[in-house]
Each structure stands twice: as structure tokens, then as C-alpha cells.
A and B are shown apart, each in its own frame.
Chain A
Amino acid sequence: MSLHDIIFWILSLWAIVCAIFVVISRNPVNSVLFLIATFFAISGHYILMNAQFLAIVNIIVYAGAIMVLFLFVIMLMNLNTDTEPQKSRLVHFAALISAGSLLLVVLSAFRKAELTQIPVTDAGDIGLIKVLGKTLFDHYVLPFELSSVLFLAAMVGAMVIGRKEVVEEKSTK
């Protein structure tokens, strides 16, 4: 077993265990923390695949920004094990069906995967920032710009919804 294989297995085990704990831990804050740990494991996988840019963006965006907001909301709502609302039977049933169908999709996707294949590590340089930038602004410039406009629209939309009350308050004064 080479060093890469050992790191690969450690990271995979780490990711899977943390992901399971995200689901089973009762305290939402612990769930969030395990999710952050999972993101770190996934970033480790990206680095193994020589995709440093993806790894660090994963940490900045997901672990650093989105999860902070998650934690923020959970802290403000002060969710605890005892205040967890009891969901109705219907919701339980719907959750079971949707999770089951997701499992089916994943199973069918991985059915033909070769289990003996050694994980490809340290191969290619598509994840390096120079190559990635050239690809994005060369081959995929239209989809890239379109998606950025979409993001901008979403951001402005959030601002408009968030500012509504303030504007009304001012007009009444």
C-alpha cells in the first residue's frame, strides 16, 4: 500500500463516519460540526486528486461561509434535543420514500463500478487554478457568465426581500 492509498482510506473512513454522525446526532450543533468535518475530509480527497483550488474553495465556501450561517441560525433558534418538534406520520413516510428512491438512484449508478480499481490520485492538473481558469474562461465562458448573472440576480433578490421592511418604516416616518 502506498502513502496515497493509506491517506485515501483514512480520509474515506473519516468522511463516512462523520457523515453518519451528521444524520444520527440529536443535537443540531453537533450535526453541523460533523458536517464541517466531512467537508474537510472531502477537501482532503480533492488535494489527493491534485485539485488544490477545488479543495480550498470547498473549505472557504462550504466550511467557512455556509456552515457559519447554519450555525448562526441554529444558535439563534436555540434548538435542543428537548425542543425538537415531533413530526407527523406523513412526514416520516415521505422522508422514507424519498430517501429510499435516492438510495435506488445511487445503487443503480454504482452498480457497474469496478471495485478493484485503485483510486486515481495525483493525476492530471485540471484542478490547478491556472488550468481551471483557462478552461472556464475559454471553453465554458458562456455558461460561466450566465451562472454568474444568475447568482447576481439571486443576491439582488435576497437584498430586495430583506430590505422591504426598512423601506416601509422609513416611508411612514
Chain B
Amino acid sequence: MSIDTFLILEKIILVVIIIAASMGVAAYSTWAERKVAAVMQDRIGPLRAGPFGLLQPLADGGKLFFKEEIVPDNSTKWLFMLAPAMFIFTSLMTSAIIPWGPDFVINGSEGARTVALQVADINIGILYVFGVVSIGVYGIMLGGWASNNKFSLLSAIRAASQAISYELALGLSLIALLMLTGTLSLRTIVEQQHGFWDGNYFTWNFFKQPLGFVIFLVCSFAELNRAPFDMPESESELNMGYHLEYSSMKLGMFLFAEYINMFISSAVLATLFFGGYNFPWMDQVQAAVPSGIFSLICVGVLMAKVVGFILFFMFVRWTLPRFRFDQLLNLGWTKLIPLALFNMLVTGAVILFFFNKK
């Protein structure tokens, strides 16, 4: 087995760009969150650092870096250190399988070379996302437990039960989508949603699986620990929840990883249900511009969709009040899971009776 040096180089560059972009988007999500909150509450929001307060994320980052780092005496030290790192690591891992744009061709001295804008197109595709999501809760649990604080522990346990409950509905809502696409590979799922209208019907999965999308969206709110499901860090009951004992950049990593999670899950939502990098009249655009530019346009379209989802997450946060914890678990187990099963049944019946390919 020989290793293609250029392939490795290409992938490393891609990984670095994606990680840098995730960090950048996450940093500016913190700014956007304040601005959105301010607009919705008729305030001005960050204003002092730079024009429109645009340097605010840098100021916050600098502040967190220079703060005193406190490790509680009775904590389990190595786990206390490990937890934030694990949390941010798992939140970045998912970005590896998202197709950010179509392939483009570079004409070099050794002939044309096709570059894929996806780190890995793996056979198991979306299951990888589930794997990462399911281990993502360890960061919170270990952080909460290692702090040796009641509130942190309570919050960690809340986070774990919430994550486990909503993973089920998340998986079930996706099964219906996967029955439709017949593949797990995110790249193939995106390619199936080519364009916007295929002559008979919309190509985007949202128009084929509206119920599945709603269930998936609600579950991703819960998996992200965002309002209205932000029980693990509800300030009024648990102070700050699992990162109560954290200070300095460790706290920063926890807060930051949540915004990275939001960015990545917006990308997954856009990829699965809203056509990924596809947009209406893309064939005409592709014919008009060179392949490199076309790929850039596609990446821009995906980013626009991602930003749309992030803004939606923020609107919801500043609109809806927080659920009570038993209401949350009830919603997950007795409403969303049966609904997802029903969706699966209907999808199966429709495929069997109307689109049977045999």
C-alpha cells in the first residue's frame, strides 16, 4: 500500500482550514448571540470593542486567557484537566465527514488532479456523526464529576440523561431519511439533492421528510444543550452547571466548544435536509464559471445556510422560556420517539406502495 503524499498534504490543509473556520465561526457566534439578544430585547449590544463591537470575541478570548486558573483542591485533577479538552475535541471531530463543496480540478505539471472538499468520505457516513455525538457527553460528565461539586454533578447527570434520551429520537428520525436515500454517505446524500427542482418535485430532503426534519431539529436543540433545553447549565437553578468550577481558558474551551457544536450541527442539518452546497440553477452557474470558482460559490452557499441555522438557534434561545426537566424527558420519550416511529412507518409504506423499484 503506497501513500500519496499529495493526498496527505491536501487533507492536512483542508483539516487546518476547517478547524480554523470552525473556531472563527464559533468566535463570531458569541458576538452574534449578543447582538441577536440585544436586537430582540431592544438593546444595543456589544459596541465598544471595534466597529459594531466586532473585536469583542478577541477581547473575551484575551480576558479568559489572562484570568487566574483555579483547580479545586478536592477535584480529580487529571480528569478536571482532561474534560474540557475532550469536549472541544469531540465537537471538532464531526467536521471531518461534512462535504463542504463539490470536487474541483487543479491542472498541475503532472496532469489534472481532483481535489475533494471533504476530509473523509467514509462508508458509514452519518453513523460516524452518531458515534461522535454519543461520546461527546463524556466531556460534560467527567467535567461535572471531577469538579467535586454538587451542582456540577447534578448538571452532568442531567446532561447525560438528556443526551441519551434524545439520541434515540435523533436516530429514529434519521432512519426514515436513510430509507429514502438508501445510503449513509453524506457525499451521496448531498449529490442526490442536486439543484432544487428535478422536473417533478423538490430535490431537497426537507420537502420529502418535513416531519423527520422537525424531530431532528428539536433533538439537535437538546443535544446542543441550548435553550429551551439548556437544563444542564440553567443559571437560576445550578449556577452554571457542569462548568461551575472552571475558570480561565478551561471555561473558555467549554463555552467555545458549545458554539463549535452549534456550527457543526447546523452544517449537518443543512447537509442532510437542506441540500448541502446545492442551490437552484446550479447547473447554469457551473457551465458559466471555472470549477474552482464554482466550488467556492458552493461553499459560500453552504455557509449561508449554516449561518441561517445558527441565527435560527439564537432566535429560539431568546424567544422561548426554558422547559422543566421532567417536561423535557417526557417530550423526548413519549412524544418525539413515537412520532419518529410513525414517520418511519409512513415513509416505509409510501416507498413500498408508490416507489417500489422492483
Interface residues of A (CB under 8 A from B): 2-4, 29, 33, 36, 52-53, 55-57, 59-60, 63-65, 68-69, 71-72, 75-76, 128-129
Contact = CB atoms under 8 A, between A and B. Distances in A.
21 contacts: A3-B3, A29-B76, A33-B79, A36-B138, A52-B122, A52-B124, A53-B123, A56-B128, A57-B127, A59-B134, A64-B133, A64-B135, A65-B167, A68-B134, A68-B141, A68-B163, A72-B161, A128-B123, A129-B123, A129-B127, A129-B184
B145 A75 contact: yes
B157 A129 contact: no
B263 to A, nearest CB: 22
Interface string B1-14: 10100000000000
A48 B261 CA distance: 29
A160 B212 CA distance: 29
Contacts of A56: 124, 127-128, 130-131
B137 A68 contact: yes
A65 B133 CA distance: 11
Nearest to B136: A64
Contacts of A129: 123-124, 127, 184
A82 B127 CA distance: 41
A101 to B, nearest CB: 35
A60 B127 contact: yes
Nearest to A75: B145
Given A29-B76, A56-B131, A63-B134, A68 B123 contact: no
A64 B141 contact: no
B156 interface: yes
B141 A71 contact: yes
Contacts of B122: 52
Contacts of B311: none
Contacts of B137: 64, 68
Given A2-B1, A68-B164, A76-B157, A53 B127 contact: yes
Given A59-B134, A60-B131, A68 B1 contact: no
Interface of B: 1, 3, 76, 79, 122-124, 127-128, 130-131, 133-135, 137-138, 141-142, 145, 153, 156-157, 160-161, 163-164, 167, 184
Nearest to B185: A129
Contact of B156 (A2, A69, A75, A128): A75
10 interchain residue pairs of minimum CB distance: A64-B134, A59-B131, A56-B127, A52-B124, A56-B131, A56-B124, A52-B123, A60-B131, A75-B145, A60-B134
A57 B127 CA distance: 8
B90 to A, nearest CB: 11
A65 B156 CA distance: 15
B164 A65 contact: yes
Contact of B160 (A33, A53, A59, A68): A68
Contacts of B131: 56, 59-60, 63-64
Nearest to A54: B124
A165 B315 CA distance: 40
Contact of A4 (B1, B123, B134): B1
A72 B135 contact: no
Contact of B157 (A36, A65, A72, A128): A72
B123 A29 contact: no
A83 to B, nearest CB: 15
Contacts of B133: 64
A170 B80 CA distance: 43
Contacts of B167: 64-65
A72 B124 contact: no
Given A68-B160, A76-B157, A29 B145 contact: yes
A2 B167 CA distance: 39
A59 B142 CA distance: 18
A136 to B, nearest CB: 15
Contact of A29 (B79, B124, B153, B184): B79
B61 to A, nearest CB: 30
